[in-house]
Structure 1
Amino acid sequence: MADKRDYYEVLGVDRDADQRTIKRAFLKKAREVHPDVSDDPNAEEKFKEVNEAYSVLSDEQKRANYDRYGTADGPGMGSGYVDFSDIFGGMGMDDIFSSFFGGGAPSGGRARAQRRGGRDMAITLTVTLEEAARGCTKTISYDRLATCEDCHGTGAADGASEKQCPRCHGTGFVTTVQRSIFGQVQSSSPCPDCGGEGTVIDTPCEMCSGQGRTPTHEKIDIEVPAGIASGRQLRVRGYGEAGFRGAESGDLIVNVRVAEHERFQRSGDDLLCEVSVPMASAALGCTVEVEGILDDERIAVEIPAGTQFGDTVTVDGRGMPRSGGGGSRGRLIVRVAVVVPKKMNAAAREALERFAKEMGEQVAPRKSVGDRIRDAIDDILE
């Protein structure tokens, strides 16, 4: 399996197959080769191949790139897509499908009245500081168990019905009695016929095998509000794991991470940055222009006379927008780095020497050309 086969060949579909056909083919192939049900020693590799083919052909952009360039990576994939982690603690489609195979029976002998809803899912979404400042919309694609499109979540084929399980009589569990040295011991366990649901379907849906949900690739837009900070969570209702046979779906929980910035440090709603100011300008006072965090924002920062290296200047209302703050913003805190010139022409040096003399400062005597030559030769000999 070193050489990748054509993805359409892997799923057994035509190149013009629609998404419904591709999904059906994927589920059929996945059931055949999944390691949990197949005795084939190469089942795991085959399942990964099927999963990879579906992950490309089920995504319109990836499929278009694959059809045109022979690979899912191509023009257009860098925009609107977000890298993220922590789906179900790192689950991929193979784990989602394993959950699909083993997901038919609720745990612990719960009765039908407690039909299992879908689990919440979590992702970590990384945005830039600029995106966090202005707010943005991120399009993400991820794997989940979604409501079956064929049966609309009922788990039943057309014309089929859900009936009370004849084995457990609708309780969802069965009771067994065993003899022991202490007498008869009674125990309860989920009904093997209905999986603890209390009901059975005479003709299950072919697409979802009676679960009412199928593995799928989901694509949704996430609205990131302006001013959001790292650690904030956004909850998207109903976009977690679909519930069993029409039960309520879980939520998608988006954990936001704001990436570090090359110019700004963030402290709450304040932004800290550093500007370089020439020595004379710091001594006499000046105005410097700082590029803000919002688009095309230019901020005039007044540097007072006598500013020292490491001093800070604060500009109110030019930091990060406050989340839900009605347009208010934090502070911009500018740290001044006074720059001392390394090279000066004769006129500048004479002017600086006169300044030092007026201030009563001691300066090193100016070296002659011969002194500088001797110093250079000494450095070479050393």
Structure 2
Amino acid sequence: MPTATKDLYEILGVSRDANETEIKKAYRRRARELHPDVNKSPNAEDEFKELNEAYDVLSDASKRAQYDRFGTIPGAAGGGSGYVDFEDIFGGGFGGMGDIFSSFFSGFGSNAARQVRKDGRDMGIGLKITLEEAAKGVKKEIVYDRLAPCADCNSTGLGPDGKSVQCPECGGTGRVVTVQRTFLGDMQSSQTCSKCNGTGESIEGACEECGGQGRIPDRQRVSVEIPAGIHDGQQLRVPNYGEAGLQGAPSGDLIVTIRMQPHEYYERDGDNLHAQIDISMVQAALGSTVLIDGILEDEEVSIKVPHGTQNGDVLRIKGFGMPKIKSDSRGDLYAHVSINIPKKLSKKERELLEKLAEEMGEEYNEVKSPLQKLREAFI
């Protein structure tokens, strides 16, 4: 994490009044220079990490405002880790902006003779929500890093005077055939064209921003509607918000997996809820009504405790569980009764209980087991 003595604007190479677009472009330009995949300087990794941390603050309006006002760095950063909405990124092999750039460098223009995937891959995020949010439904903003469509070239990869031409190396086939003479005769082999990486096309006059890929590493913000009643582990698909495809090819999708945070009072079982209610021995004996807060906002649940209720009894309250997804109905609430026995009694309370014991014919000074009583009956 950069300290307050470091100037984040200087690290990015922008003025203090730079707008969001200027900050993004400055970051990508510096990242291409400093990324360890292309920069072999022994300090490249540390400088790239510092650059990411500076961008993490200056690309977020609230963090930037705090930094500008106080000169301090709010929260932890580094590839989006300061955003508490998500827990992991998968399905494209991405784990932050550093990995995004690694994929960017290797995805096009590499010397490796391998077939390049043009369609963008799906990406996945685990989104943590509370039980209350799952009950009422909520809109969440997710912040993550991805290869996004390049706005400068409209994803084509072409510069102002650029054009796509047939690869002169492979003749547009994407494969190069070589023949090697051996004592057994001519041996023919085929491999992916190293010039076009198997695309069969070459760009003349590529876009300066994306280098001809039609996509750029960027930080993405997207709002996701979480429906009421959603369960832990369920997934939501956001079309076209995964990895962008090469040169305008289709983008992958963003897969949002819901992760439910534990609740301090309620435990969920499908669409039903379970909760413990504490009552006194008097309430259990005489019966009572217990009021608790429901799972929905401003909801109050009235639980009727019948007289003679025992410790561990379970009371069912219909229609006060979780809302069922895409339905107007709800599950049920199960109240597990816990009877509290007072540890200390006042003199008056003890006298009253002793009178009650006498009235009920109960022994309390020396409690005998049923077996002891049976033995005494035959003496």
State the TM-score, normalizing by the size of structure 1.
Answer: 0.88
CA–CA separation in structure 1 for the residues paired with 2:2 and 2:156: 41
The corresponding residue for 1:236 is 238
- What letter is aligned with 2:105? F
CA displacement at 1:72 relative to structure 2: 4.2
CA displacement at 1:263 relative to structure 2: 0.4
The corresponding residue for 1:132 is 134
- What letter is aligned with 1:353? E
Matching residue within 81, 98, 101 for 1:97: 101
CA–CA separation in structure 2 for the residues paired with 1:59 and 1:167: 45
Pairwise mapping of residues 23-38 of structure 1 onto structure 2 (< 5 A)?
A: 23-38=24-39
Aligned-pair identity in percent equals 52
| Alignment partner of 1:157 is 2:159 | yes
CA displacement at 1:30 relative to structure 2: 1.4
| Alignment partner of 1:312 is 2:314 | yes
CA displacement at 1:35 relative to structure 2: 1.1
Secondary structure at 1:48's aligned position in 2?
helix
Residues 134 and 294, structure 1, Cα contact 8 Å, conserved in 2: yes
- C-alpha offsets along residues 194-250 of structure 1, whole Å, 9 cap, x if unaligned? 121111111010000110000111111111111111100011111111001100011
Q: 1:304 to 1:180 in 2, by over 3 A?
A: farther
Number of residues paired by the alignment?
A: 356
Residues 168 and 174, structure 1, Cα contact 8 Å, conserved in 2: yes
- C-alpha offsets along residues 27-61 of structure 1, whole Å, 9 cap, x if unaligned? 22112121111231111111112222222222222
Secondary structure at 1:203's aligned position in 2?
strand
Q: 1:86 to 1:185 in 2, by over 3 A?
A: farther
CA displacement at 1:85 relative to structure 2: 2.3
Q: 1:287 to 1:251 in 2, by over 3 A?
A: same
Pairwise mapping of residues 273-288 of structure 1 onto structure 2 (< 5 A)?
A: 273-288=275-290
CA–CA separation in structure 2 for the residues paired with 1:102 and 1:84: 26
- Residue segments in structure 2 that go unaligned for 5+ positions in a row: 76-82, 367-379
CA displacement at 1:168 relative to structure 2: 1.1
Residues 109 and 197, structure 2, Cα contact 8 Å, conserved in 1: yes
Q: 1:181 to 1:84 in 2, by over 3 A?
A: farther
Residues 82 and 139, structure 1, Cα contact 8 Å, conserved in 2: no
The corresponding residue for 1:64 is 65
CA–CA separation in structure 2 for the residues paired with 1:347 and 1:68: 64
- What letter is aligned with 1:348? E
The corresponding residue for 1:123 is 125
Moved more, 156-165 or 100-109: 100-109
Secondary structure at 1:239's aligned position in 2?
coil
Pairwise mapping of residues 184-199 of structure 1 onto structure 2 (< 5 A)?
A: 184-199=186-201
Pairwise mapping of residues 257-272 of structure 1 onto structure 2 (< 5 A)?
A: 257-272=259-274
Secondary structure at 2:232's aligned position in 1?
coil
Residues 109 and 188, structure 1, Cα contact 8 Å, conserved in 2: no
Q: 1:359 to 1:83 in 2, by over 3 A?
A: same
CA displacement at 1:19 relative to structure 2: 2.1
CA–CA separation in structure 1 for the residues paired with 2:181 and 2:43: 45
The corresponding residue for 1:376 is none
Secondary structure at 2:205's aligned position in 1?
coil
Q: What is the CA RMSD across the aligned residues, in angstroms?
A: 2.2
The corresponding residue for 1:202 is 204
The corresponding residue for 1:222 is 224
Residues 109 and 172, structure 1, Cα contact 8 Å, conserved in 2: no
CA–CA separation in structure 1 for the residues paired with 2:94 and 2:356: 66
CA displacement at 1:108 relative to structure 2: 7.9
Pairwise mapping of residues 161-176 of structure 1 onto structure 2 (< 5 A)?
A: 161-176=163-178
Q: 1:2 to 1:55 in 2, by over 3 A?
A: closer
The corresponding residue for 1:379 is none
- What letter is aligned with 1:249? S
CA–CA separation in structure 2 for the residues paired with 1:268 and 1:41: 54
Moved more, 269-278 or 35-44: 35-44
Residues 82 and 138, structure 1, Cα contact 8 Å, conserved in 2: no
The corresponding residue for 1:335 is 336
- Residue segments in structure 1 that go unaligned for 5+ positions in a row: 75-80, 366-382
State the TM-score, normalizing by the size of structure 2.
Answer: 0.89
| Alignment partner of 1:294 is 2:300 | no
The corresponding residue for 1:18 is 19
